[in-house]
Amino acid sequence: MDFPQYRKMAGFQRFYRITGEKHFTEVYLLNGQRITHEVTAVQYPEMLRIQDMLNRSFSFTDMTEEEIGNVFRD
């Protein structure tokens, strides 16, 4: 699988840039502010969460090109 991969959580303002099997960046909107959280998976539950995102399990879905440009504007 090529990285980065981009996912969002359906029904929430949470967006993810997955840069490897053990690392992702989460961006969410809270009271109009953009909050960014870097996560390096060290524990097994974190690794499973990344696999769920990559597999589009639960409510994780792909982001559109427009969403990627708007959320992850580096």
Give the tens place of pLDDT for each residue, 19-65.
Answer: 999 999 999 988 889 999 999 999 999 999 999 999 999 999 999 99
Q: Which domain holds residue 66?
A: 5-71
55 close to 61: Cβ distance less than 8 angstroms = no
pLDDT classification of 1: cutoffs 50, 70, 90: confident
What pLDDT, in 10s, does the model give residues 63-72?
999 999 999 9
What pLDDT, in 10s, does the model give residues 4-13?
999 999 989 9
**Number of domains composing the chain:** 1
Query: Whole-angstrom Cα distance, residue 41 to residue 68?
Result: 22
Alpha-helix residue ranges (DSSP H) falling in the chain: 44-54, 65-71
pLDDT at 74: 62
Residue 22 half-sphere exposure toward CB, CA atoms < 13 A: 5
Beta bridge partners of 29: 34
For strand 23-30 and strand 33-40, is the pairing parallel, antiparallel, or unpaired? antiparallel
